[in-house]
Amino acid sequence: MTAKAVKLVEQAPSENELAEQANSFLEVANSLTVDSHGTLQTASVYLSDNKREQTKMEDQRTKLVKPLNDHVKDINAMFKPFMEILKNAEHIVKQRIGKYHHDEQERIRKDQAAAEAAARKERDRLEARAASAAAKGQVEKAQNLELQAATTVAVMPAVSETKVTGVSVRMVWKGQVTDVKAFCLAIANGDIPASVVEFKASELNRVAAFIQNNKTIPGFKVYQDSSVASR
Protein backbone atom coordinates (compact mmCIF):
# COMPACT_ATOMS: atom_id res chain seq x y z
CA MET A 1 0.00 0.00 0.00
CA THR A 2 1.35 3.43 -0.91
CA ALA A 3 0.69 6.46 1.26
CA LYS A 4 -1.14 9.15 -0.70
CA ALA A 5 -0.67 12.89 -0.54
CA VAL A 6 -3.26 14.76 1.51
CA LYS A 7 -5.32 17.52 -0.01
CA LEU A 8 -7.66 19.56 2.18
CA VAL A 9 -10.78 20.69 0.33
CA GLU A 10 -12.87 21.83 3.31
CA GLN A 11 -12.45 25.46 4.29
CA ALA A 12 -11.78 25.66 8.03
CA PRO A 13 -13.59 28.30 10.09
CA SER A 14 -11.35 30.81 11.79
CA GLU A 15 -10.50 30.49 15.46
CA ASN A 16 -12.35 33.74 16.13
CA GLU A 17 -15.52 32.35 14.53
CA LEU A 18 -15.35 29.22 16.66
CA ALA A 19 -14.70 31.25 19.79
CA GLU A 20 -17.65 33.52 19.06
CA GLN A 21 -19.95 30.54 18.53
CA ALA A 22 -18.88 28.73 21.68
CA ASN A 23 -18.71 31.78 23.96
CA SER A 24 -22.20 32.95 22.96
CA PHE A 25 -23.60 29.64 24.23
CA LEU A 26 -21.47 29.86 27.37
CA GLU A 27 -22.81 33.33 28.11
CA VAL A 28 -26.39 32.09 27.83
CA ALA A 29 -25.61 29.08 30.04
CA ASN A 30 -24.15 31.33 32.74
CA SER A 31 -27.23 33.57 32.64
CA LEU A 32 -29.76 30.74 32.87
CA THR A 33 -31.52 30.05 36.16
CA VAL A 34 -33.61 26.92 36.59
CA ASP A 35 -36.06 27.48 39.44
CA SER A 36 -39.50 26.92 37.89
CA HIS A 37 -41.31 24.95 35.23
CA GLY A 38 -41.03 27.89 32.81
CA THR A 39 -37.27 28.31 33.28
CA LEU A 40 -36.91 24.52 33.07
CA GLN A 41 -38.53 24.65 29.64
CA THR A 42 -36.19 27.49 28.62
CA ALA A 43 -33.21 25.45 29.75
CA SER A 44 -34.52 22.45 27.79
CA VAL A 45 -34.77 24.54 24.60
CA TYR A 46 -31.26 25.85 25.24
CA LEU A 47 -29.89 22.31 25.56
CA SER A 48 -31.47 21.36 22.23
CA ASP A 49 -29.92 24.41 20.57
CA ASN A 50 -26.58 23.66 22.23
CA LYS A 51 -26.69 20.06 21.02
CA ARG A 52 -27.40 21.20 17.45
CA GLU A 53 -24.44 23.60 17.66
CA GLN A 54 -22.20 20.81 18.96
CA THR A 55 -23.32 18.57 16.08
CA LYS A 56 -22.64 21.34 13.57
CA MET A 57 -19.18 22.04 14.99
CA GLU A 58 -18.36 18.33 15.18
CA ASP A 59 -19.35 17.94 11.52
CA GLN A 60 -17.00 20.80 10.61
CA ARG A 61 -14.18 19.19 12.59
CA THR A 62 -14.81 15.74 11.09
CA LYS A 63 -14.75 17.04 7.51
CA LEU A 64 -11.41 18.72 8.20
CA VAL A 65 -9.69 15.83 9.96
CA LYS A 66 -11.02 12.95 7.83
CA PRO A 67 -8.48 13.43 4.99
CA LEU A 68 -5.70 13.66 7.57
CA ASN A 69 -6.93 10.61 9.47
CA ASP A 70 -7.24 8.66 6.23
CA HIS A 71 -3.67 9.61 5.34
CA VAL A 72 -2.42 8.58 8.80
CA LYS A 73 -4.36 5.31 8.47
CA ASP A 74 -2.71 4.58 5.12
CA ILE A 75 0.76 5.29 6.53
CA ASN A 76 0.14 3.13 9.61
CA ALA A 77 -1.19 0.30 7.45
CA MET A 78 1.90 0.47 5.25
CA PHE A 79 4.36 0.31 8.16
CA LYS A 80 2.43 -2.02 10.51
CA PRO A 81 3.30 -5.46 9.01
CA PHE A 82 6.98 -4.62 8.78
CA MET A 83 7.08 -3.22 12.32
CA GLU A 84 5.47 -6.46 13.51
CA ILE A 85 8.17 -8.46 11.71
CA LEU A 86 10.88 -6.42 13.44
CA LYS A 87 9.22 -6.74 16.85
CA ASN A 88 8.81 -10.49 16.36
CA ALA A 89 12.48 -10.80 15.39
CA GLU A 90 13.44 -8.80 18.50
CA HIS A 91 11.27 -11.07 20.65
CA ILE A 92 12.92 -14.20 19.23
CA VAL A 93 16.43 -12.97 20.06
CA LYS A 94 15.41 -11.69 23.51
CA GLN A 95 13.89 -15.09 24.30
CA ARG A 96 17.12 -16.81 23.34
CA ILE A 97 19.20 -14.39 25.40
CA GLY A 98 16.87 -14.96 28.34
CA LYS A 99 17.14 -18.74 27.95
CA TYR A 100 20.92 -18.54 27.82
CA HIS A 101 20.95 -16.40 30.95
CA HIS A 102 18.59 -18.81 32.73
CA ASP A 103 20.66 -21.83 31.70
CA GLU A 104 23.85 -20.12 32.90
CA GLN A 105 22.27 -19.30 36.26
CA GLU A 106 21.13 -22.92 36.60
CA ARG A 107 24.61 -24.21 35.71
CA ILE A 108 26.20 -21.89 38.28
CA ARG A 109 23.68 -23.00 40.91
CA LYS A 110 24.49 -26.67 40.25
CA ASP A 111 28.25 -26.00 40.33
CA GLN A 112 27.87 -24.16 43.63
CA ALA A 113 25.78 -27.00 45.08
CA ALA A 114 28.41 -29.52 43.99
CA ALA A 115 31.17 -27.39 45.56
CA GLU A 116 29.20 -27.15 48.82
CA ALA A 117 28.65 -30.92 48.85
CA ALA A 118 32.38 -31.56 48.27
CA ALA A 119 33.32 -29.17 51.08
CA ARG A 120 30.80 -30.79 53.42
CA LYS A 121 32.17 -34.24 52.59
CA GLU A 122 35.73 -33.04 53.27
CA ARG A 123 34.68 -31.49 56.60
CA ASP A 124 33.02 -34.76 57.62
CA ARG A 125 36.18 -36.68 56.72
CA LEU A 126 38.43 -34.33 58.72
CA GLU A 127 36.10 -34.36 61.71
CA ALA A 128 36.05 -38.17 61.65
CA ARG A 129 39.89 -38.24 61.60
CA ALA A 130 39.97 -35.68 64.41
CA ALA A 131 37.63 -37.83 66.49
CA SER A 132 39.77 -40.89 65.80
CA ALA A 133 42.96 -39.01 66.76
CA ALA A 134 41.36 -37.73 69.95
CA ALA A 135 40.30 -41.28 70.84
CA LYS A 136 43.92 -42.37 70.50
CA GLY A 137 45.12 -39.54 72.73
CA GLN A 138 46.67 -37.60 69.85
CA VAL A 139 45.42 -34.24 71.12
CA GLU A 140 47.52 -31.95 68.94
CA LYS A 141 46.72 -33.90 65.78
CA ALA A 142 43.02 -33.88 66.67
CA GLN A 143 43.08 -30.09 67.21
CA ASN A 144 44.81 -29.53 63.87
CA LEU A 145 42.28 -31.71 62.08
CA GLU A 146 39.37 -29.91 63.78
CA LEU A 147 40.85 -26.57 62.71
CA GLN A 148 41.16 -27.82 59.14
CA ALA A 149 37.56 -29.01 59.22
CA ALA A 150 36.34 -25.66 60.59
CA THR A 151 38.16 -23.72 57.89
CA THR A 152 37.16 -25.96 54.99
CA VAL A 153 34.74 -24.05 52.77
CA ALA A 154 33.39 -24.59 49.30
CA VAL A 155 35.66 -23.50 46.49
CA MET A 156 33.27 -21.85 44.09
CA PRO A 157 34.00 -22.29 40.39
CA ALA A 158 35.11 -19.16 38.60
CA VAL A 159 32.28 -17.43 36.77
CA SER A 160 33.33 -15.72 33.58
CA GLU A 161 31.22 -12.64 33.01
CA THR A 162 31.19 -11.45 29.45
CA LYS A 163 29.94 -7.92 28.96
CA VAL A 164 27.94 -7.32 25.81
CA THR A 165 27.38 -3.84 24.48
CA GLY A 166 23.74 -2.79 24.28
CA VAL A 167 22.29 -5.77 26.17
CA SER A 168 21.58 -6.16 29.87
CA VAL A 169 19.86 -9.09 31.53
CA ARG A 170 18.42 -9.07 35.02
CA MET A 171 16.06 -11.24 36.98
CA VAL A 172 12.74 -9.58 37.82
CA TRP A 173 9.93 -10.65 40.15
CA LYS A 174 6.43 -10.85 38.71
CA GLY A 175 3.04 -11.58 40.23
CA GLN A 176 0.01 -13.43 38.86
CA VAL A 177 -3.36 -13.89 40.54
CA THR A 178 -4.34 -17.58 40.51
CA ASP A 179 -7.24 -17.47 42.99
CA VAL A 180 -9.32 -14.26 43.00
CA LYS A 181 -11.20 -14.99 46.24
CA ALA A 182 -8.05 -15.99 48.14
CA PHE A 183 -6.24 -12.94 46.78
CA CYS A 184 -9.05 -10.58 47.86
CA LEU A 185 -9.02 -12.21 51.30
CA ALA A 186 -5.28 -11.53 51.52
CA ILE A 187 -5.98 -7.86 50.72
CA ALA A 188 -8.72 -7.76 53.37
CA ASN A 189 -6.30 -9.23 55.92
CA GLY A 190 -3.74 -6.56 55.13
CA ASP A 191 -1.21 -8.98 53.66
CA ILE A 192 -1.33 -7.16 50.32
CA PRO A 193 -1.93 -3.40 49.80
CA ALA A 194 -5.32 -2.48 48.36
CA SER A 195 -3.54 -0.30 45.79
CA VAL A 196 -2.99 -3.40 43.62
CA VAL A 197 -6.72 -3.38 42.79
CA GLU A 198 -8.27 -0.93 40.31
CA PHE A 199 -12.07 -0.71 40.34
CA LYS A 200 -13.97 -0.12 37.09
CA ALA A 201 -16.56 2.63 37.59
CA SER A 202 -18.74 1.23 34.80
CA GLU A 203 -18.87 -2.19 36.49
CA LEU A 204 -19.58 -0.66 39.91
CA ASN A 205 -22.46 1.35 38.42
CA ARG A 206 -23.80 -1.77 36.70
CA VAL A 207 -23.81 -3.64 40.01
CA ALA A 208 -25.48 -0.68 41.74
CA ALA A 209 -28.19 -0.54 39.07
CA PHE A 210 -28.81 -4.26 39.50
CA ILE A 211 -29.08 -4.42 43.29
CA GLN A 212 -30.35 -0.83 43.86
CA ASN A 213 -31.63 -0.71 47.48
CA ASN A 214 -32.43 -4.41 47.68
CA LYS A 215 -29.13 -5.54 49.13
CA THR A 216 -26.36 -4.20 51.36
CA ILE A 217 -22.77 -5.04 50.50
CA PRO A 218 -20.04 -4.27 53.05
CA GLY A 219 -17.71 -1.54 51.83
CA PHE A 220 -19.96 -0.68 48.87
CA LYS A 221 -22.27 2.35 48.72
CA VAL A 222 -25.28 2.41 46.40
CA TYR A 223 -26.74 5.84 45.66
CA GLN A 224 -28.62 7.72 42.97
CA ASP A 225 -27.34 10.70 41.00
CA SER A 226 -29.01 12.89 38.37
CA SER A 227 -28.17 12.12 34.77
CA VAL A 228 -29.45 14.75 32.33
CA ALA A 229 -29.72 13.81 28.65
CA SER A 230 -30.43 16.31 25.88
CA ARG A 231 -31.23 15.82 22.22
* Res. 174: pLDDT tops 90: no
| Contact assessment for residue 152 and residue 119, using Cβ atoms and an 8 Å cutoff | yes
d(CA 171, CA 98): 9
Confidence band of 7 (pLDDT split at 50, 70, 90): low
Burial annotation 68-96 (CB, 10 A radius, 16+ → b, else e): eeeeeeeeeeeeeeeeeeeeeeeeeeeee
- List, for residues 10-42, the tens digit of each pLDDT value: 678 899 999 999 999 999 999 999 999 999 999
Say how far apart CA 46 and CA 56 lie, in whole Å.
15
Q: How many other C-beta atoms are found inside a 10 Å radius of the C-beta of residue 105?
A: 12
172 has pLDDT over 80? no
* Between residues 168 and 96, the one the model is more confident about: 96
Least confident of 10-24, 44-58, 145-159: 145-159
pLDDT of residue 219: 85
R_g over Cα of the chain: 38
Q: Which residues pair with 220 in a beta bridge?
A: 217
Say how far residue 152 (Cα) sits from the centre of its chain. Answer: 48
Confidence grade of residue 1 (pLDDT, cut at 50, 70, 90): very low
When the pLDDT of each residue in the chain is averaged and rounded to a whole number, the result is 87
**Mean of pLDDT values over 111-118:** 90
pTM of the predicted protein model: 0.52
Overall average pLDDT of the 53-69 stretch: 93
Q: Residue 32 contacts by C-beta under 8 Å, 6 or more apart in sequence? A: 39, 42, 43, 46
Percent of the chain at pLDDT > 90 equals: 53
User: Domain limits of the chain?
Assistant: 15-31+38-150, 180-211
pLDDT at 150 over 60: yes
pLDDT one-digit tens code per residue, 181-221 = 999 999 999 999 988 988 899 999 998 998 888 888 888 88
Burial class (CB in 10 A: 0-12, 13-18, 19+), 145: buried
Q: Are the CB atoms for 116 and 154 separated by under 8 Å?
A: yes
